[in-house]
Amino acid sequence: MANSNTPTPPRDAPQTPSLSDHVFQTLAQTSEPTERVPSPPAIWVPPPTLHGATAPVTVSLKDPTLSWAIASLVGLTQDEYLYITDNNKAQEGAPAASQWSYGERHKAHPILDFLSLGPASVVRTPNFLEHAGITMVIAVRDARFPTAFQGALDTAKRVGVVAKSVLMDQTEPGFGLLRLHVEFARQINRHMLATAKLPRYPGQRGRVLVVCETGSDRSVLMVGSYIMAMYGLGVVDAAPFLQTQRFCANITDPYRRALQTLEDLLRARLDVLIQRGPAGAMAGGVNKRSADEEEIGGPAVRPGYAPYEDNDYEEDSMT
């Protein structure tokens, strides 16, 4: 029973604010309500290897026994896949961050032993393509400017290098990556197999250079998607590997989300292939539809341009 002698404060007496009241008032003052759609959570990826590191960073298929499944995933036979990846050779990249300077962003850097990444300007550098052993150039163009880098591509063709381009619509959901990565990987892999059969390249493997304006934007997204598909990697593995070798590679949050969506799709397809087994994968066949037929992740109405520009310059016609 309460003590009747305890004084009761008047109802209109000022109350001392509690800590929770103070926190609520602070939040209410600093967080204005908005009506926009909530932002998706950020995708954290490990930072690239920083200054002073000397140990190489490696990438390879984590389970070599599944090479048949990865091969089927990217539209190859197992023998073709093993040729392109040099029998699943571990791809080693020395950390570029240890010797990085501003001028490095204007150069091309090897990402895989058969694929490099850089700005379009390097194509016009005298003798660069020959000295680097480049046999194919792919320009990742902004769909709003479908003739960009034509000078660089013409330069490549004049010295006998295969020249291709891909059009990326950056207003399309996920940048159209679910659709574009299929044809992008197919062009690289087809070229790698073609160079092995041409007398012009006796004993030489092909080498592909992927470019955009800076070599740090759209081309990074496409190269990242290729690494993920060919080596069964997730974005948290592919992004640091790429950035370690080209430190200025700009893998923004929208790019990470696009790669994460691609990762989910690739993992789902891979799970189905593994469930079927090697015999089931072969019986089911490999999806080799052209880019004009491939609509995975694309808009309901195709825009007024081709998703992938393929110049009339085939490897089989080279002499």
Which range of residues forms the domain containing residue 161?
62-314
Residue 127 lies in a domain: yes
- Give the pLDDT score at 297: 39
Q: Show the 3-state SS of the chain.
A: CCCCCCCCCCCCCCCCCCHHHHHHHHHHHHCCCCCCCCCCCCCCCCCCCCCCCCCCEEECCCCHHHHHHHHHHCCCCHHHHHHHCCCCCCEEECCHHHHCCHHHHHCCEEEECCEEEEEHHHHHCCCHHHHHCCCEEEEEEECCCCCCCHHHHHHHHHCCCEEEEEEECCCCHHHHHHHHHHHHHHHHHHHHHHHCCCCCCCCCCCCEEEEECCCCCHHHHHHHHHHHHHHCCCHHHHHHHHHHHCCCCCCCHHHHHHHHHHHHHHHHHHHHHHHHHHHHHHHHCCCCCCCCCCCCCCCCCCCCCCCEECCCCCHHHCC
Residue 228 maps to a domain: yes
Q: Is residue 1 part of a domain?
A: no
Domain membership of residue 15 (yes or no) is no
Whether residue 36 is contained in a domain is answered as no
At 235-275, the pLDDT tens digits run: 999 999 999 889 899 999 999 999 999 999 999 999 999 99
Mean pLDDT over residues 200-220, rounded? Answer: 87
If one counts the domains in the chain, the total is 1
Asked if the structure places residue 21 within a domain, the reply is no
- Domain harbouring 207, CATH code: 3.90.190.10
Per residue in 54-83, pLDDT tens?
556 788 888 888 899 999 999 999 999 999
pLDDT of 271-289, one tens digit each?
Answer: 999 999 887 666 554 444 4
Residue 182 lies in a domain: yes
- Residue 77: inside a domain: yes
